[in-house]
């Protein structure tokens, strides 16, 4: 490995550590989410978060947007939200005698869609083109989105009232899916201590922090990640994990080839984040649940008996070995 690549890999690891430490000045816990957002950003993916309200999802996103100096916009999911409310609309300007584009919030570097499964399937589909091709089409005209473009969507648990399960093709566009739960007893106590000390005021925290990275820095990191070495055995391991989802008895729809690509890109980014220029099996194992849980559909019998996607993925990781 040449000295230049070593230096650039180390810069990625240091940047992640700086972001993690700065974020945890405000946020208690949620280390896996912080890691997955960083990996998604430097590997060109999007992130889906499922969790009950009040688990700091929006706060973490706002912190990242500020630390990386992204233009940030947030959309609140609601059943009456229309596609045009997200992507925008062309309106007629009488003064100019022409149609002009009134851009929606999708035209940003960092889009957060809160409670995405409160959107109807029609409105959910407005994000498909943006997430896969970094562009959107309005009245037959295609408009490129800002570069970089990164999306995070949150969803309530499926049993919550007034929700629409995400369509399968929409889920597949997300690189990762993470599940947030309430904090444990020690972390909950730390929340109370920080609140009493006045350390959870967003305005005070926001004014105290400054960008650590620019969009250009993130683009450079993404280029470096593509130089991380992945040997044939590591590639075969990723393949075998994905193939196992297609033959498991409790799964009626296995993971797509996008899952294979997400495992590869994510493993390379995680290696760099841990100051390595090569992928090891632990990188793939660590990210497999986040890559797979939203891409597999269980059989009706498995769902009725209480089998979960995470349990099946754990079983697969325990049985699939490295060649």
Which DSSP string do the residues of 94-110 spell out, in sequence order? TTTTEEEEEE-TTSSSE
Residue 303's contacts (CB-CB under 8 Å, 6 or more residues apart) are none
What are the DSSP E strand ranges found in the chain? Answer: 47-51, 72-76, 88-93, 98-103, 110-114, 135-138, 141-144, 150-155, 176-180, 251-253, 297-298
More confident residue, 283 or 63: 283
Residue 78's nearest CA partner among 48, 111, 120, 50 is 120
Helix 257-273 to helix 281-292 angle, to the nearest 10 degrees? Answer: 130
The answer on pLDDT for 167 being more than 80 is: no
Q: Which two tokens stand for residue 272?
A: 């760099």
The answer on pLDDT for 195 being more than 70 is: yes
- Quick one: pLDDT at residue 93? 75
Q: Which two tokens stand for residue 134?
A: 């970094």
Q: Which of 127-131, 177-181, 315-319 has the highest mean pLDDT?
A: 315-319
**What SS3 class is residue 31?**
helix
Identify whether the C-beta of residue 77 lies closer than 8 Å to the C-beta of residue 118: yes
pLDDT in tens, 1-44: 588 899 999 999 999 999 999 988 888 877 888 999 999 999 98
**What SS3 class is residue 209?**
coil
Alpha carbon distances (Å) from 54 to 28, 109, 198: 12, 25, 18
Handedness of CA 126, 132, 133, 135 (dihedral sign): positive
At 147, phi and psi to the nearest 5? -115, 120
Identify whether the C-beta of residue 86 lies closer than 8 Å to the C-beta of residue 127: yes
Residue 97's contacts (CB-CB under 8 Å, 6 or more residues apart) are none
Give the mean pLDDT of 72-91: 87
How sure is the predictor about 170, in pLDDT bands with cuts at 50, 70 and 90?
confident
Mean pLDDT rounded to a whole number for the chain? 88
The answer on pLDDT for 209 being more than 90 is: no
DSSP annotation of 311: H
- Quick one: pLDDT at residue 272? 96
Share of the chain above pLDDT 90, in %: 45
Residue 217's contacts (CB-CB under 8 Å, 6 or more residues apart) are 15, 68
Give the mean pLDDT of 99-128: 86
- Quick one: pLDDT at residue 161? 63
The answer on pLDDT for 156 being more than 80 is: no
CA 37 from centroid of its chain's CA atoms: 5
Q: Which two tokens stand for residue 322?
A: 């490295």
Give the mean pLDDT of 60-72: 87
- Quick one: pLDDT at residue 99? 77
Identify whether the C-beta of residue 84 lies closer than 8 Å to the C-beta of residue 129: no
pLDDT in tens, 215-255: 899 999 999 999 999 999 999 999 999 999 999 999 999 99
The answer on pLDDT for 162 being more than 70 is: no
CA 164 from centroid of its chain's CA atoms: 20
The answer on pLDDT for 207 being more than 80 is: yes
User: Helix, strand, coil proportions of the chain in percent (round to 5)?
Assistant: 50, 15, 35
The answer on pLDDT for 51 being more than 80 is: no
The answer on pLDDT for 55 being more than 80 is: no
> Does an H or E element contain 23, and which?
helix 3-23
Q: Is the bond preceding 148 in cis, omega lying within 30 degrees of 0? A: yes
Least confident of 96-100, 178-182, 188-192: 96-100
- Quick one: pLDDT at residue 226? 95
Q: What are 47's strand-pairing partners?
A: 152, 176
- Quick one: pLDDT at residue 177? 92
Identify whether the C-beta of residue 320 lies closer than 8 Å to the C-beta of residue 241: yes
Give the mean pLDDT of 49-65: 81
């Amino acid at each position: 490995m040449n000295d230049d690549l070593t230096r650039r890999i180390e810069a990625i690891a240091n940047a992640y550590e700086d972001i993690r430490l700065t974020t945890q000045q405000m946020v208690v816990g949620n280390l896996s989410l912080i890691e997955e957002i960083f990996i998604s950003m430097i590997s060109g993916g999007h992130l889906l978060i499922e969790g009950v309200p009040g688990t700091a999802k929006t706060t973490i996103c706002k912190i990242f947007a500020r630390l990386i100096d992204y233009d940030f916009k947030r959309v609140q999911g609601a059943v009456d939200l229309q596609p045009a409310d997200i992507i925008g609309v062309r309106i007629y300007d009488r003064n100019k005698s022409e149609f002009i584009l009134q851009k929606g919030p999708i035209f940003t570097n960092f889009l957060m869609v809160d409670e995405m499964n409160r959107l109807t399937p029609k409105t959910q589909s407005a994000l498909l083109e943006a997430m896969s091709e970094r562009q959107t089409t309005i009245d037959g005209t295609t408009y490129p989105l800002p570069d970089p473009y990164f999306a995070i969507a949150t969803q309530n648990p499926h049993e919550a009232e007034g929700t629409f399960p995400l369509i399968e093709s929409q889920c597949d566009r997300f690189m990762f899916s993470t599940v947030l739960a309430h904090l444990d007893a020690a972390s909950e106590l730390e929340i109370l201590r920080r609140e009493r000390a006045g350390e959870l005021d967003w305005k005070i925290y926001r004014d105290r922090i400054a960008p650590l990275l620019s969009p250009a820095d993130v683009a450079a990191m993404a280029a470096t990640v593509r130089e991380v070495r992945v040997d044939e055995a590591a590639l075969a391991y990723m393949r075998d994990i994905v193939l196992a989802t297609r033959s498991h008895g409790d799964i009626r729809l296995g993971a797509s080839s996008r899952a294979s690509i997400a495992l590869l890109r994510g493993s390379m980014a995680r290696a760099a984040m841990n100051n390595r220029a090569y992928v090891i099996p632990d990188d793939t194992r660590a990210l497999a649940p986040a890559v797979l849980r939203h891409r597999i559909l269980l059989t009706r019998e498995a769902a009725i008996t209480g089998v979960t996607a995470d349990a099946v993925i754990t079983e697969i990781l325990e049985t699939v070995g490295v060649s």
